[in-house]
Amino acid sequence: MTPATARASTKGEETRALILAAAVEQASAAGFESLTIGGLAERTGLSKSGLFAHFGSRLELQMAALDEAARRFTEQVFLPAFRAPRGLRRLEALFDAWFEWPRRARLPGGCPIDAATREYDHRPGPMREAVLDRQRHLERELAKTVQLAIDTGELDPQADADEVAFALMGLILAYYRAQATLGDAAAEKRARAGFDRLIAQYRPR
């Protein structure tokens, strides 16, 4: 690759990253169905043909925005957790980062993947399938993190990892709902208290 091609490719990647950042921000606030090639062109100040050079269709843009949201979620939530030692400390780090991620990722509209799950709930098609795949993957990862804390002996060996993960997911959903939707200032305190109580309950006797 000559330096000129390398620069061109870098420039192309930068433009793509810029478009996707704008798309994820918009999806967080108004949903993935609000994304259009024309709208994103306006938002980013690029030409529609410039956008079509990166995304051949609206669906391709939506899919890429979902991938980008998932990539950022992994980066902001799972990577910090994986830096903590496996077991209870990793589970705590995961829960903390999960809470803070819409804020840390500067997504004032809240978690875009959570929003997408609701958005495509009754809207069959490739976006719905992609969102559900992400959600199932996420649940498996959450259950695996719980299982590690069982394996280290920090949680009761009799505990059912899927059941613990289910209750944790509930606290996260209730937190997103109370905090972002209802603007409830006590939401974080209640969610953290819920986490502590849940974990206390599964400590080995």
Query: Which range of residues in 7-15, 37-45, 57-65, 192-200 is near a second copy by CB under 8 A?
Result: 192-200
Q: Answer yes or no: are the C-beta atoms of 34 and 61 closer than 8 Å.
A: no
Rounded to 5 degrees, φ, ψ at 120 are -100, 10
The footprint of a second copy on this chain (CB under 8 A) covers a number of residues equal to 41
Find the shortest distance in angstroms from Cβ 179 to a second copy: 11
Find the shortest distance in angstroms from Cβ 173 to a second copy: 4
Q: Answer yes or no: are the C-beta atoms of 175 and 187 closer than 8 Å.
A: yes
Q: Measured between alpha carbons, how far is 54 from 164 in angstroms, rounded to an integer? A: 42
Q: Is 166 in the site for a second copy (CB under 8 A)?
A: yes
Q: Measured between alpha carbons, how far is 79 from 64 in angstroms, rounded to an integer? A: 21
Q: Smallest Cα–Cα separation from 133: which of 104, 103, 112, 113? A: 113
Q: Is 60 in the site for a second copy (CB under 8 A)?
A: no
Instruction: Mark residues 89-118: x for contact with a second copy by CB under 8 A, - for none.
Output: --------------------xx----x-xx
Q: Is 194 in the site for a second copy (CB under 8 A)?
A: yes
Residue 45, token pair as written in the block = 């100040």
Q: Measured between alpha carbons, how far is 47 from 53 in angstroms, rounded to an integer? A: 10
Q: Which residues bind a second copy (CB under 8 A)?
A: 29-31, 109-110, 115, 117-119, 121-122, 132, 135-136, 139, 160, 162-163, 166-167, 169-175, 177-178, 180-182, 186-187, 190-191, 193-194, 197-198, 201
